[in-house]
Structure 1
Amino acid sequence: MKWRPFLFAVVVLAAGCGDEVVQEPAPVEEPVIEKETDVPSKVNLSSYFLKDGQIAHFVGEGNEFASYTARTVWHDDRHVTVYEDNGGTVMARTFRVEDERIVVVREEGEQYEDYVPSDGELESLKPLYTYLQLPLEVGQSFDGWTVTDDSSPLETPLQTFDHAVVLEKIGEDGSIARSYFAEGFGEVKREFVMDDFIVSSMIEQIEEPAR
């Protein structure tokens, strides 16, 4: 019978331990780490023109005027004139680079001398039409043009472009005009399609200005 007091003591001790409240350690809060999000950088529309004095040579197919040169002349950081010489005439287009679009403010054929605007003249010119407009994404439309591809691979005699932007306009007669643009170069290909008749021009060389 000597075991009973010992057993009773063990039971009492166990019961007493059962009444104790065990404090659980407070959860440790892990530091919140902000994840970096991919924020697209704003497109610099000035990069859709060549540098001042550079001349792009285009090789053409389909008619005798499909090959041409395009000479770029910057007037200031917002206005640039491109002279297209196809061997038959010279077309001069003056562009204004705005925050969200590029507009044509002057367009003259038979321009055999450089356009030299007077002070304040460029700012006074009204937009004739929109040349490019952000965002350059599929579905974007302006002045009859629609972006049909914003990351098209394009092989030209100059180089292969991995992410060309393709603009398309459909005429009332069913013809299709397409222009291909590459950042850092501007327009690198254009084509006109009417049934089985195709006229195309692709960039093949960039000539640096004479020193």
Structure 2
Amino acid sequence: MKKKVTWFLLLSTSLVLGSCSWFNNAADVYDESEVSSTNHASSSVDASASQSSSQAESEASSGMSESSVSEEVSALGVIDYFPMREGYQAVFAGDGNEFAGFTRTYDFIRDDFLTMRTATGGTTTLEVVAITPDRAEVLVTKPETYSHEELTYDMITQTGEPVKTLIEGPIEVGHTWDSDGRQREITGIDVPVETTTGSYEALEVTEYGEDSERREYYAPDVGLVYVADESTDPDATYLVTQILAQLSFEGWGETITFYYPNGENRFEQVTDTIQMTTNDKMALKFTQLFQGGNSADQQLMGKSVEINTIDVNSQNPGQGKTVNIDFNEHIRKLADDPQGKAKLDAIMASIQQYYNADEIRPTIEGEYMVIDGLVTLTAEKPLYLVPEDVYPY
């Protein structure tokens, strides 16, 4: 029913995209063309070719050139280098690791909190970043989160997770801070970065690991544009780069698997792509889908039926993740439909699958779901059990 990803794959992916808490992929590596230091205010990034003397860098798709002098103090702040822009979708091309490339979307922007998803070839991870004038820090990381879902304030602020500080002020060369046990440092300002999306004057942040270094480049009004990760162990060298290849502020396509009954005791499925943008509500999107706005031209709910809200609890998939869905009273009209139970099963299956949830808890105007002849849920049995035969594959 749900997408399954091995924890080994999740771990390796989480090491590759891991700076911006944007996942530490064990294979993410630093470009060996040069190592930034406090003696070099900046480096010039050339995305078209690596100018390193090392063999690893010469094979990379992007790299670092000779150091150049830059300003040591920026007139810009953290928010300028990590802007919360609606409709954001970025595609990063990766080199040096199978899962280095990724796509990122900004799903929700609420006050100082940015909810973003990063999808590699192996998994998708949700992160919540708190962005203030002084710092940008990752408060929440949720693996295997493929859906457009918003966490509550308590779920964000009461996780107890280690905080990963991506950027910290003051924005000046040599400023250092601790981020979840690793030291990070501003090593360059106004560093030239060339990508297929344009030329940028970027902030360079270096993270020092025990046997590795990672450099991240943030451009004003854009955010992350380039990452280079490299080993500092001469006996175990590696290099992984990630460079901005596509950038849009017009939203993105969200993939949803839609189930529907097709004859007695038979179900079919189609995969539709719906247009999404920052702060969109999935309750409305699913309402439109079930009312007939799908490629199968199947209507599971009448036009008067609406989904009021959809939310999830704080658990991860496989650990009790529950999706809560509340309908208006017109959902009870399914009791008069000869295929009412099958349609209700298909609705629940579609939502549970999209959220990669272990359980689904439906209500009607906040009360336990009771539909004559179809389902009766109670305080003792509040969960809807989706029959296995709904999933045709």
Q: When the two structures are superposed, what TM-score results if normalisation uses the length of structure 1?
A: 0.72
Give 2:177's match in structure 1, choosing from 142, 147, 150: 142
1:132 partner letter:
I
The separation in 2 between residues aligned to 1:145 and 1:157, in whole angstroms, is: 28
By how many angstroms is 1:42 displaced?
5.7
The separation in 2 between residues aligned to 1:189 and 1:107, in whole angstroms, is: 21
Give 1:159's match in structure 2, choosing from 187, 192, 198: 198
Give 2:228's match in structure 1, choosing from 181, 184, 191: 191
By how many angstroms is 1:114 displaced?
2.5
1:206 pairs with 2:244: no
Equivalent pair of 2:78/2:134 in contact (CA under 8 Å): no
The separation in 1 between residues aligned to 2:123 and 2:105, in whole angstroms, is: 14
Give 1:64's match in structure 2, choosing from 87, 98, 110: 98
After superposition, the Cα gap between the structure-2 partners of 1:172 and 1:51, relative to the gap in structure 1 and judged at 3 Å, is: same
Higher relative contact order, structure no. (Cα contacts within 8 Å, ≥ 6 residues apart): 1
Equivalent pair of 2:175/2:186 in contact (CA under 8 Å): yes
| Residues matched between the structures, number | 170
After superposition, the Cα gap between the structure-2 partners of 1:116 and 1:186, relative to the gap in structure 1 and judged at 3 Å, is: same
Equivalent pair of 1:47/1:186 in contact (CA under 8 Å): yes
After superposition, the Cα gap between the structure-2 partners of 1:119 and 1:105, relative to the gap in structure 1 and judged at 3 Å, is: closer
Q: Which residue of 2 aligns with 1:132?
A: 167
Q: Secondary structure at the match of 2:229?
A: strand
Find the structure with the greater CA-based Rg: 1
Between Structure 1 and Structure 2, the one with more strand by share is: 1
2:87 partner letter:
G
Instruction: Extract unaligned runs of 5+ from structure 2.
Output: 1-73, 252-274, 277-393
Q: Which one is further off, 45-54 or 103-112?
A: 45-54
Deviations 1:45-102 (A, max 9, x none): 1651352232101111111111110111233131001211011011211011223111
By how many angstroms is 1:41 displaced?
5.5
After superposition, the Cα gap between the structure-2 partners of 1:44 and 1:170, relative to the gap in structure 1 and judged at 3 Å, is: closer
Q: Which residue of 2 aligns with 1:89?
A: 123
After superposition, the Cα gap between the structure-2 partners of 1:71 and 1:182, relative to the gap in structure 1 and judged at 3 Å, is: same
Q: Which residue of 2 aligns with 1:11?
A: none
By how many angstroms is 1:123 displaced?
4.8
Q: Which residue of 2 aligns with 1:31?
A: none
Q: When the two structures are superposed, what TM-score results if normalisation uses the length of structure 2?
A: 0.40
2:240 partner letter:
V
Q: Which residue of 1 aligns with 2:59?
A: none
By how many angstroms is 1:106 displaced?
0.3
Q: Secondary structure at the match of 2:202?
A: strand
After superposition, the Cα gap between the structure-2 partners of 1:125 and 1:75, relative to the gap in structure 1 and judged at 3 Å, is: farther
Q: Which residue of 2 aligns with 1:78?
A: 112
Equivalent pair of 1:95/1:103 in contact (CA under 8 Å): yes
Deviations 1:20-50 (A, max 9, x none): xxxxxxxxxxxxxxxxxxxx86626165135
Equivalent pair of 2:92/2:242 in contact (CA under 8 Å): yes
The separation in 2 between residues aligned to 1:146 and 1:102, in whole angstroms, is: 14
The separation in 2 between residues aligned to 1:128 and 1:135, in whole angstroms, is: 19
2:170 partner letter:
P
Instruction: Extract unaligned runs of 5+ from structure 1.
Output: 1-39
Two-structure CA RMSD over aligned residues (Å): 2.2
2:166 partner letter:
Y
Q: Secondary structure at the match of 1:112?
A: coil
Runs ≥4 residues deviating over 6 A = none
Q: Which residue of 2 aligns with 1:102?
A: 136
The separation in 2 between residues aligned to 1:152 and 1:135, in whole angstroms, is: 17
Identity %: 25
1:104 partner letter:
V
The separation in 1 between residues aligned to 2:133 and 2:158, in whole angstroms, is: 18
Equivalent pair of 1:72/1:83 in contact (CA under 8 Å): yes
Equivalent pair of 1:49/1:72 in contact (CA under 8 Å): no
The separation in 2 between residues aligned to 1:135 and 1:183, in whole angstroms, is: 15
